[in-house]
Amino acid sequence: MSDLDKQQDSEPFDPPTEIVSFGSDPEAPSIDWLDLSTPSLLSEYPFDFGPYKILGELGRGGMGVVYKGVQKDLDRVVSIKVILSNRLLAWKNVLRFRSEAKAAASVRHSNIVGIYETGKVLGQHYIAMEYIEGESLARRNRMNPLSTEEAIRVVARVARAIAHLHAKNIVHLDLKPSNILIDPTGQPFVTDFGLARGLGGRGIGKDTEAISGTPCYMAPEQAKGDESEIGPLCDVYGLGAVLYELLTKSPPFKSEDAFETLVKVIEEEPQPPRSISPEIPKTIEKICLRCLEKDPEKRYASANDLADDLDRFLAGDIVESTATSLPDLIKCWIRRNPALSSHLIVLSFFMGIELLWYHLFKIRTAEYHYTLLSILTLWVFTSIGLDGFLKKPKFEKAARLLWAAADVIFLTAALLNNGGITSHLLILYPILLAASGLWFQINLVWTVTVITLFSYGFLIGHAHFFRPEIEIHFDHHIVFLASIFSIGFLISLLVRRLELLLSYGRRRPSLVQTK
């Protein structure tokens, strides 16, 4: 049973006025050790425990006991976790305890229980943690089951918190409903980092032994003890197991014997959630089962990807990993490749218009028609090539600038074929400039602005030297150039303001995480 499985299961207590004190009272028994894990030793609450006053027990598990207490100097309510057994303390438990403290103390997230300090009072190791007014997710779902939407929302937020852990190169490896707290507002908090380990070594603590866990929620590679496979995808499996239990009221695999459970985890497929609860949406069933794939490579690539799909479902959007119809697959591809898809849609539109006008109305010469189609076709293939480089981190920045420049150059070539300075398609210049702001990079906006100004100047020069029949009104062109510069300047200011807002949001993650 988890450390927090029993939180608030007992009746509320009324602390007596008499205080039993250990560790801070001069009259306390003369002992050099303290075993808080033995209930019979402490008959009354509250009692002093170093800098804390312990008010009562919240829960106990296989390794530790969690108490509710008050930090006396700050008058702050805390949760205090102490290790089970002390006099004959097993060194493995001490190392795991230290590992938990180190792992939890290294992260700060609005959905992760924070660590205040660790220490030892009369030989008793403890961790002082943020106190969450609420109950474990396991008890909450048992006593007052979550709706499907509530379950999805909780797992999505937990997945974001786990993604934050992974970004810090830490994997939790013991995700289950009893290790997640729910406050009165429904906000989840991840706790219990006793099995957490670093991605690059054998654990957060140097001497942490081989991994263990709770069989019902362990990934197959974790159940096999395959050290080479243990990593973030184990937590993705754990998130799927939590979602499965919230939806069906039972973990994916469960037997009376732990060994039998491990065998099922390794060899059997989970029963589809909809066969247990038909009201579960098909999309959520597919998401859940994808998390529970035996092959780690078939699961979500990250906890963030899982959270994205859950958020899309809640927003009523198409979930890419479960899309099957052609329209849904197309929509997902467009969303995954916004830059390329927007180029292909616009260019295809112009190619279609050109083909329609030429074949139906014959108002263009064959030379004009084939030249324009060549320009648009080359533009399409250039966009496809640059999109490939855009997806490679090494070339991303250069590809973005080249793509922006190529758009202006190809548009200029198309304008030369369509009347040059007199073309009605000149309006596409400010549209391209406005679109450059979607990359949220000031240097890119100014690159497009400068190239656009030079391109328009080139069209003026071309008309002056090669199109003498065109009357050039320089005052009109100066106004147009000034307008292009002004649009670029305003867009750069807008991008700058958005950068400041995003920077502030990154410094205050709670503003985003608690929506």
Contact 128, 71 (CB under 8 A): yes
Going through 63-179 in order, the beta strands assigned E by DSSP cover: 64-71, 76-83, 115-121, 124-130, 135-136, 170-171
Spatial separation of the C-alpha atoms in residues 350 and 258, rounded to whole Å: 65
Helix intervals (H) in 257-325: 258-267, 273-276, 282-291, 303-314
CA distance 218 to 61: 18
List, by residue number, the catalytic residues: 174
Residue whose tokens read 């859940």? 288
- State the first-to-last Cα distance of the chain, in angstroms, to the nearest integer: 32
Listed in sequence order, the residues at least 6 apart from 453 whose beta carbon sits closer than 8 Å to its beta carbon are: 481, 484, 485
Distance, CA of 118 to CA of 126 (rounded, Å): 6
Residues 6 or more apart in contact with residue 307 via CB below 8 angstroms: 156, 157, 159, 160, 163
Number of other residues whose CB lies within 10 A of the CB of residue 163:
21
Q: Which two tokens stand for residue 260?
A: 């039998």
The three-class DSSP label of residue 369 is helix
Bridge partners (DSSP) of residue 112 are 190
How is residue 123 annotated by DSSP?
A: T
For 476, counting Cβ atoms within 10 Å of its Cβ (0-12 exposed, 13-18 middle, 19+ buried), the class is: exposed
SS3 call for 379: helix
Q: How far apart are CA 251 and CA 444, in angstroms?
A: 50
Residues 6+ apart with CB under 8 A from 301: none
Q: Is 60 helix (H, G, I), strand (E, B) or coil?
A: strand
Question: What distance in Å separates the CA atoms of residue 62 and residue 287, rounded to the nearest whole number?
Answer: 32
